[in-house]
Amino acid sequence: MNPLIIPIAVEWVFLITTLAPLIFTGRFKNRPNLGLAIWFSAFLSAGVAAAIAIVVAGYSVFETWLVIHENPQGGEPWLLALVSGLGPWLLLAIAGVSIALVNQKIEPLVEQARELKPALGLVKKQQTEYRGVSVATIELPIDQAFTDGKEIYVTAQWWNRLNVGQREQLLQHEYAHIRLRHPGLKKLAGFIRVLTPNLAASKALAAEVFELTELAAKGYCSSGWLPTSVR
């Protein structure tokens, strides 16, 4: 494999993580679904490029071992192979450290998810179903509605104040989130931001995904009533 692939792949990752916030932010408000596709496609391509760089580095290490094995007495080929192998070794070392750091960042998210789901189960109260999706109220002193992709949650104090028409609009909006798989997209964007909290691209991705999913879901509603408490 050509070792020049490594700097090209790294350059692509750099371009995506630095230029995406400048180019994509705020450009897809009229076409939110297209914006979501472009944002995630860009980050997916950056992930593929990073994976390719690691694979090429690993193959270069293997080639270095072959050259050294074929020239046990040393010589120019031996030295060239050793020098050319330093870059991939360094890249693999960085990748190993990155994996360890990623695991440290993921662990709190896993624990939080394990604690949140049982907590919702204890405080929620089943109210109705909307197009086959369970609707439950939770006791919180705020006006809020959201979905985890499987159920719709509304705070009890707000649910009790809404009339029939407003409840329909609210449930229609949250159902649109579920149908368009927005909770999964938001989780993925949040996951990327946790992994790379210092990158402007990660922060921009999370903000844009939140705004674009809201715009896409509001497009499913038949009227203009929807407060900012809807998520």
Contact between 99 and 68 under an 8 Å Cβ cutoff? The reply is: no
**Kind and range of the H or E run holding 192:** helix 182-195
**Kind and range of the H or E run holding 86:** helix 76-123
How far the first Cα of the chain sits from its last, in Å, is: 48
Contact between 195 and 139 under an 8 Å Cβ cutoff? The reply is: no
pTM for this prediction: 0.61
Count of Cβ atoms closer than 10 Å to residue 162 Cβ = 17
The Cα 34–Cα 185 span in angstroms is: 14
Structure tokens at 147: 């979905």
Structure tokens at 175: 């159902």
The reported pLDDT for the residue numbered 160 is: 93
Biggest alpha carbon–alpha carbon distance for the chain: 86
Quickly state the pLDDT bin for 14 (edges 50, 70, 90). Answer: confident
The Cα 27–Cα 101 span in angstroms is: 33
| pLDDT, the chain, mean | 77
**Domain residue spans in the chain?**
5-218
Contact between 40 and 206 under an 8 Å Cβ cutoff? The reply is: no
Residue 71, pLDDT > 60, answer: yes
Name the phi and psi angles at 141, rounded to 5: -80, 45
61-82 as b/e, with b when 16 or more CB fall inside 10 Å? beebeebbeeeeeeeeebeebe
Quickly state the pLDDT bin for 227 (edges 50, 70, 90). Answer: low
Q: Model confidence over 154-189: pLDDT tens digits?
A: 999 999 999 998 899 899 999 999 999 999 899 888
